[in-house]
Amino acid sequence: MRIASGALFILALILPVSASDWPQFRGPTGQGISCDKGVPLTWSESKNIVWKIELPGTGTSSPIVLGERIFLTCYSGYKVPGLASGVQENLKRSVVCLERKTGKLLWNKEIASKLPEQATIREEHGYATSTPVADGESVYAFFGKSGVFAFDHAGKQLWQSDVGGRLNGWGSAAALALHGNLVLVNASVESDALVALDKATGKEVWRTRGIVESWHMPIVADADGKKEIVIAMQGKLFGIDPQSGEKLWTCNTNIGWYMVPVPLAHEGIVYALGGRSGIVGLAVRAGGKGDVTKSHRLWTSNKGSNVTSPILHNRHLYWMNDVLGIAYCAEAKSGRILYEERLPRASQVYSSPVLAEGRIYYTDRMGQTFVVAAQPEFKLLAQNSLGKRIHVNASPAVTDGRLLIRADQFLFCIGESR
């Protein structure tokens, strides 16, 4: 796992992690990669379910893990799927902490919403969509116009910070990231900006403006020994100075859609997917100054995904199209497609995949998980279901050889019997 190990080394400088930690969206590397052993290949409603709990609210954010605690966000009181609509005055957001081994609720901190909120969120994505991030001292959560919140691990609120007040029909969705003493907030929806907050106080350190139609977690890339924050928006990729927020370089992507998938960075190369037609994927060498489109753009592709993020493993890229139910493998160096295989009875896919045990786990919105060999020859190893009427938008977490899969109102812990 040459690529995975390199990514783990880079991100370990940013997030202190232990073997069981999954402290941000897509794990310690931000790339959906786990080195855990014993992750199950198969499960069902009655097999390899360690525990299942009903959450104190619904939501589409993904679980994160730090030490013996699981953190996630929920909402209740308004526009909960399957319940009467209610009124906005009853909308509550929550940061929830669970015991990792048992799923026991340790604390639930409710946050009043700043109103008015978006009256309708498309496809029932709801009002708790952004995945939190945690370090050894705090957990940080983002609720759009209601702000960014920091809590200690016992549930005490430390600070709240506003990053903008605008709304959007898709809601607010970008996961938070940490870099050094900064909380990085993609506030494209709220204020057309990438905002860096001091993680100790919540005070704004810098703000990069002009970030539009961007819905993903910012990433940190290594360019010639220097760190750069990379963010994708409609039509462009930016490299940003983490100390000042200055735009260092820009690259045209020719992707004419909003950008949802989280880019990947490895060995100075950034890989990004997005959109549904025309150019929907590309590779760009990080670094440089000004417009680097001609000098640094390495390849483009017309095969991609509008929602799900890719996996990079042994110099190959893997992803699943969010609408077509097609799994792809491409050569990272050239973008050349090595396979495209439609998975049997796959529905829409909004969950980003994870890699563990040399296997890629793709979960669709109906709670089916397709397990595919992480190799350039397609091989479907297993197809698992959590049962009927299970709705999954969140991405899995991997901790201590187990998978955490968040359905809208439930959290499943999946693992081999011990």
pLDDT of residue 6: 39
**Cβ atoms within 10 Å, residue 345:** 12
pLDDT of residue 20: 83
pLDDT of residue 417: 75
| Residue the block writes with tokens 């969705």 | 173
**Separation between Cα atoms, residue 34 and residue 401, nearest integer Å:** 9
**Element (DSSP H or E) covering residue 11:** helix 2-12
- Which residues, listed in sequence order, are joined to residue 229 by a DSSP beta bridge? 220, 240
pLDDT of residue 14: 41
Tell whether pTM > 0.85: yes
**Cβ atoms within 10 Å, residue 112:** 10
Does the bond joining 116 to the residue before it have cis omega, within 30 degrees of 0? yes
Q: What is the mean pLDDT of each successive set of 10 residues along the chain, which is 418 residues long?
A: 35 52 97 96 96 96 97 96 93 97 97 94 92 97 98 98 96 96 98 98 98 97 94 98 98 96 97 96 97 98 97 98 96 98 94 98 97 98 94 97 96 90
pLDDT of residue 123: 84
**Separation between Cα atoms, residue 265 and residue 222, nearest integer Å:** 8
